[in-house]
Amino acid sequence: MKNLLFTLLCICSFQVGYGQGYDALVSEAWQQYEEGSYEASMNTYLEAFKIKKDNPRDLYDGACSASLAGEEKTALKLLKAAHKAGYINARHMSKDSDLANLHGLKKWDKILAKVQADLDAREAGYNKPLQKELLTIYEDDQAIRRELMAAAEVHGWDTPATDSLIQLMVIQDSINHEKVINILDKHGWVGPDEVGGQASQALFLVIQHADIETQQKYLPVMRKAVEEGKAQARSLALLEDRVALREGRKQIYGSQIGRNPETNEQYVMPLVDPDNVDKRRAEVGLGPLSEYASRFGLEWDVEDYKKRLPEYEAWQEKY
């Protein structure tokens, strides 16, 4: 199933309106960004930040929308707030094309210098060679998937354009797989305090895209890493779900979306105890399943899902 071929790190969508919570507003703002409605996205982010203003990633994304909307002052203000909230990914910030029109502004240079200084201080004790290798793996893993998704949006799936990219992705995954297995066997699961958050996340991404035997072997390793604070519980949840389904069991957190190739209908793949899925998701830092499902154009209705679950189980077994 092509929807199981990639994992991109992103947030998802919802309808904006009065009385909404922070998560729903941020999700809608991201959807507006994806649609190219940058001014609307900026305004929705600003509404969300009236509720709270402590998530560095969301503040950064709001700055990107503001920059693309031509609102440089708002973009710089949000970047400053993102840094204050803990954003220090100077590498990404300096290369992010969304912020290109801020380059050269005095306040931009000042903010970037502060972000870089904090990054340098944080990384003083890092294993730099290993960090560099893992960051390259991370980018290689995500770049081919971004390219594939873009091609699929233009040409659709099951076309020569997407098929060739899938073949390239399989080759890249194989290369990354060998590199990550060597790292894990030599260093163990290295955490953010050793190589930084993004570099550490590369381990999960490659295992998430690996064959079932590799996933089964390193699932206990990642569980221990989560216990030790070296990996994220929400990332582990995705791996737990993927392994469960590949072993013929039901998923736990509802992270895996399937597609019936005959009807092209997408669905939440067979899920244990649907009534309490949001409780389990909250325990590992995941938002409500309704919000997650909406990114795939699905409306989560637990009662309808339970009625159709035997049908979904049949699809899983067949496809």
Domain membership of residue 219 (yes or no) is yes
Model pLDDT, residue 115: 96
Domain membership of residue 162 (yes or no) is yes
Helix (H, G, I), strand (E, B) or coil at 258: strand
95 and 148 inside one domain: no
Task: Report the domain count for the chain.
Answer: 3
Model pLDDT, residue 20: 65
Q: What is the rounded (10 degree) CA torsion for 112, 32, 157, 311?
A: 120
110 and 187 inside one domain: no
Model pLDDT, residue 18: 36
Out of 106, 122, 138, a domain closes at 122
Tokens coding 290: 């309704």
**Residue 55: exposed, middle, or buried by beta-carbon count in 10 A (0-12, 13-18, 19+)?**
buried
269 and 214 inside one domain: no
194 and 285 inside one domain: no
Domain membership of residue 294 (yes or no) is yes
**Amino acid sitting at position 195:** V
Domain membership of residue 277 (yes or no) is yes
CA distance 156 to 201: 29
Domain membership of residue 196 (yes or no) is yes
Out of 75, 96, 122, a domain closes at 122
CA distance 286 to 278: 8
Out of 59, 90, 122, a domain closes at 122
Model pLDDT, residue 4: 40
Domain membership of residue 225 (yes or no) is yes
Tokens coding 222: 């990642």
User: In the chain, which stretches have pLDDT less than 70?
Assistant: 1-20
Domain membership of residue 185 (yes or no) is yes
CA distance 247 to 244: 5
Model pLDDT, residue 318: 84
Helix (H, G, I), strand (E, B) or coil at 271: strand
- According to DSSP, residue 251 is labeled B
- Domain containing residue 209: 128-231
Model pLDDT, residue 319: 83
CA distance 173 to 192: 23
**Predicted model pTM:** 0.74
Domain membership of residue 297 (yes or no) is yes
199 and 219 inside one domain: yes
**CATH code at 32?**
1.25.40.10
Number of helices and strands (H, E) in the chain? 15, 2
218 and 274 inside one domain: no
Name the residue among 87, 128, 239, 194 with its Cα closest to residue 62: 87
Model pLDDT, residue 305: 97
